[in-house]
A and B are shown apart, each in its own frame.
Chain A
Amino acid sequence: MIHLRLLLVFIGLFPVTCFAQKRTTAVKVIEQSNVVLDFTPVVDGKPFFLDSVYTSPGGDRYKITNWKFFVSNIALSSSLGKEHAAFSETKPAVLLIDFSKANHQILQVDIGEYTDIRLDVGLPRQINHTDPTSALPPLDLAQQDMYWEWNSGYIFLLIEGQLLHDQKDRFHFAIGGDNKIMPFAHGNLFNVVPLIKVEKGKTTTLRFTFDFNKLLKNGDGSNYSLTAEKARIVHGGYFADVLSMNAKQAMEFKKVEMR
């Protein structure tokens, strides 16, 4: 009976000792603060509005009715330290930027001073091939037009609109596929003066612009022509390659704000 009592006492104490053990193990917590990525659509550097009429570098009059893209792999870095990823609810952040809506999602980044930012327009391979029917927003199928229904994977960049010529041809740029991810980086790792500060209790806003007319400007200086149907209805192939290359120069990092 004495043995039994001793055993009960031992069992009773076991969780307490374990708990005490846990509490004594120090874990260094890196503090994080708020970062907002703000993307503004522009045409020739001027404010853009859906359904307004603009003129392309090639002289085509057009309007855009739908403009969306995924942003992932967001990270800040400096020459003195490692890269620090942006998180959203403890997961590496994935944003869906929809220019028909306000885009204001607060991300978490380690407190620090950074000289460089990078992000991808698109999704990493492991996300691109998950089951969208069981994915959480923004990767769920509530955004049905951002998933290929006849192909596997997400559409990284979707821009739809109409040419305002006699025929009123529509254009539809749907760029996706693992090899079409569009990396973007800004800054200089070797800058002495940090470009971006992430401070405790403050929100750092990083402002970008995405210029549609720069998307229609090719790397060799020529204009992306919307004349041919294959250049207007783009799901893959040569024209998707051209547009995904142009997208890198169409996006610009503008400024940092801190409040």
Chain B
Amino acid sequence: MSRRSFHIRKNLSVSLVLIAALFFMVSSTFEMSRKPYVLKIPIGFPPPLIPADNELTVERVKLGKKLFYDKILSSDSTISCASCHAPEFSFSDNRMISPGVKQVNGDRNSMALVNLAWSNSFFWDGGVSTLEMQVLKPLSSHTEMNMLLREAVYRLKNNKEYIKLFDKAYACEPNPNALFKAIASFERTLISGNSKFDRYFYQKDTTAFNDSEKRGYFLFFGNDKVHCVSCHSGVNFSNNTFQNNGLYAEYKDEGRARITGSKTDIGKFKVPTLRNIAYTSPYMHDGSVKTLEDIMDHYSSAGTGHFNASLHVHTGSELQLTPQDKKDLVSFLNALSDEEFIRNPEYRQ
């Protein structure tokens, strides 16, 4: 080998090493900004539903959380998502109907945001099928945040901090697609799975329940009398269906029929999760039922016999829960509370 070719080879090797080092540094920096966010999946839960085009990363969740709590997304900058979905109420609130901007009331009770990564339809009527697109409704509704999407994006584009956060999370400037994805990312992290029920049922701790809670548990799951689990099943205590629970003889709010236009869907609403139900009063789609005891009275009396009423609400069968049954069922429902979830600082502003 000549001396000249030796030098060429040497220089080439050095150049290649430098290029490799540079590539490594750039890719490391890039990867750091896209650090995966690892969900803590409770024992017994199936894998969550996460869209391939919105994988969870630390930066996306961070951005989503900031947006969730930021009043910049309402037309008069007075409310945020958290105004109606507060962590202390299991991301619901304690009002029948939540007021939007200028205290204008909507028409439905604020739903708890729990374990949304296991849900396949959103809102009381299930009108939207992705957590990402769900963001549009509260943002733009005149009775909620009353915000034009283009105005929201304009505000975010004029905010230096958001410009940086969007760039880190989605490598783009603020736009509707990334805005929706970021909020959905944060909402997917709201996981509740450490209640007394979880300790008893999934973690096999036989001492988790007291006697009343255990009796309530058997009534809830038992086939002979109540069988609430006909609808409130699965890890989220919802079979994700739409049911008419006989609350009214005539419904002002047509529920699922608003989406399908079908008479057979009048008065049907999504079966809500029961997790943390002790924190989410008042209940039902319109917040018309104040307490868990009132819920027991409703199901015990079998409702109004609406023509779409679910067979599971025992219409006309005179269920007649005893006072002890009601007390035990309420005890069981209270045992679905997950203090760790309610107090989790990661979820708070």
Check A133–B257 contact: CB distance below 8 A. Answer: no
Contact in complex: A152, B136 (CB < 8 Å): no
Prevailing SS type, chain B contact patch: helix
Query: Nearest residue in A to B139 (C-beta to C-beta)?
Result: A149
**Chain B residues whose C-beta falls within 8 Å of the C-beta of A236 in the assembled complex:** 258-261
Q: Smallest CB–CB gap between A199 and chain B, Å?
A: 40
Determine if A141 and B176 form an interchain contact, defined as CB atoms under 8 angstroms apart.
yes
With A151-B128, A240-B261 known to touch, is A144 a contact of B177 (CB < 8 Å)? Answer: no
Report B82-130 residues with CB < 8 Å from chain A CB. Answer: 123, 125, 127-129
Query: Closest B-chain residue to A144, C-beta based?
Result: B149
* A142 interface residue per 8 A CB criterion: yes
Contact with B along A75-92 (1 / 0, CB 8 A): 000000000000000000
Which residue of B140, B141, B175, B261 contacts A133 across the interface (Cβ within 8 Å)? B175
Q: How big is the A interface, by class?
A: 20 to 34
B136 and A149 contact, CB distance less than 8 A: yes
Q: Which one of B139, B140, B150, B258 lies within 8 Å of A235 (CB-CB)?
A: B258
Q: Chain B contacts of A240 at CB under 8 A? A: 261
Q: Are B258 and A149 in contact (CB under 8 A)?
A: no
Residues of B near A144 (CB, < 8 A) are 140, 148-150
**How distant is A48 from chain B, measured CB to nearest CB, in Å?**
27
Assess A133 versus B127: contact at CB under 8 Å? Given A144-B150, A236-B258, A237-B257: no
Does A52 touch B at the CB level, under 8 Å? no
CB distance from A127 to the nearest CB of B (A): 15
Considering the complex, give the chain A residue whose CB is closest to the CB of B177.
Answer: A133
Which one of A149, A151, A152, A177 lies within 8 Å of B140 (CB-CB)?
A149
Q: Which residue from chain B places its CB closest to the CB of A134 in the assembled complex? A: B177
In contact, A149 and B177 (Cβ under 8 angstroms):
no
Name the residue on A nearest B127 (C-beta): A151
Closest chain A CB from B172 CB (angstroms): 11
Does A131 touch B at the CB level, under 8 Å? Answer: yes
A133 to B54, CA, bound (A): 13
Asked if residues B127 and A150 are in contact (CB atoms below 8 Å), the reply is: yes
**In the assembled complex, how far is the CB of residue B129 from the closest CB belonging to chain A, in whole angstroms?**
6
Minimum Cβ distance to chain B for residue A179 (Å): 9
CA–CA, A237 and B125, complex, Å: 15
Question: Is the C-beta of A147 less than 8 angstroms from some C-beta in chain B?
Answer: yes
Is the C-beta of A190 less than 8 angstroms from some C-beta in chain B? no
Given contacts A133-B177, A133-B180, A134-B177, contact A152 B133 (CB under 8 A): yes
Q: Which residues from A are CB-within-8-Å of B132?
A: 131, 133
Q: Could you say which residues of chain A place their CB within 8 Å of the CB of B177? A: 131, 133-134
Which B residues touch A151, using CB under 8 A?
127-128, 259
Of B139, B148, B175, B177, most A-chain CB atoms within 10 Å: B177
**Chain B contacts with A in 136-178, Cβ cutoff 8 A:** 136-137, 139-141, 148-150, 175-177
Q: Once bound together, how far apart are the Cα atoms of A109 and B179, in whole Å?
A: 38
A-B contact count (CB 8 A): 55
Query: Once the chains are docked, how many angstroms separate the CA of A134 from the CA of B133?
Result: 11
B123-A142 in contact (CB<8A): no
Cβ contacts under 8 Å, B123 to chain A: 150
How close is A170's CB to chain B, nearest CB, in angstroms? Answer: 13
- Min C-beta distance of A135 to chain B, whole Å: 9
A148 on interface, CB distance cutoff 8 Å: yes
Residues of A within 8 A of B259 (CB): 151, 236
Task: Write the A112-150 contact mask toward B (1 if CB under 8 angstroms, else 0).
Answer: 000000000000000000011110000011101001111
Q: How far is the CA of A144 from the CA of B147 in the complex (A)?
A: 11
Q: How far is the CA of A26 from the CA of B180 in the complex (A)?
A: 47
- The digit string for A231-246, where 1 denotes a CB below 8 A from any CB of B, is 0000111101100000
Complex Cα distance, B149 from A148, in Å, reads 13
CA distance A237 to B258 in the complex (A): 8
Known: A236-B261, A237-B261, A240-B261. A152 touches B129 (CB 8 A): yes
Bound-state CA distance A207–B136 (Å) is 36
A residues within 8 A CB of B175? Answer: 133
A147 touches B136 (CB 8 A): yes
Q: Which residues of A contact B127 (CB under 8 A)?
A: 148, 150-152
Q: What residues on B are CB-neighbors of A131 within 8 Å? A: 132-133, 177
CA distance A237 to B151 in the complex (A): 32
Known: A144-B140, A236-B260. A150 touches B128 (CB 8 A): yes
Which A residues are CB-close (under 8 A) to B257?
Answer: 237
Q: Could you tell me the distance between the alpha carbons of A241 and B139 in the complex, rounded to whole angstroms? A: 29
- Closest Cβ of chain B: how far from A82's Cβ, in Å? 36
Bound CA span A7–B260, Å: 68
| A residues less than 8 Å from B180 (CB atoms) | 133
Across-interface contacts of A140 in B (CB, < 8 A): 176
B147 vs chain A, min Cβ distance (A): 10
Chain A residue nearest to B128 in the complex (CB): A152
Shortest beta-carbon distance, B2 to chain A, in Å?
A: 14
> With A235-B258, A236-B261 known to touch, is A133 a contact of B176 (CB < 8 Å)?
yes
* Chain A contacts to B: CB under 8 angstroms: 131-134, 140-142, 144, 147-152, 177, 235-238, 240-241
6 tightest CB-CB pairs across the interface, nearest first? A237-B261, A133-B177, A236-B261, A151-B127, A133-B176, A149-B137
15 A-B pairs with C-beta separation under 8 A: A131-B177, A132-B176, A133-B179, A133-B180, A140-B176, A141-B176, A147-B136, A149-B136, A149-B137, A150-B137, A150-B141, A151-B127, A177-B261, A237-B261, A241-B261
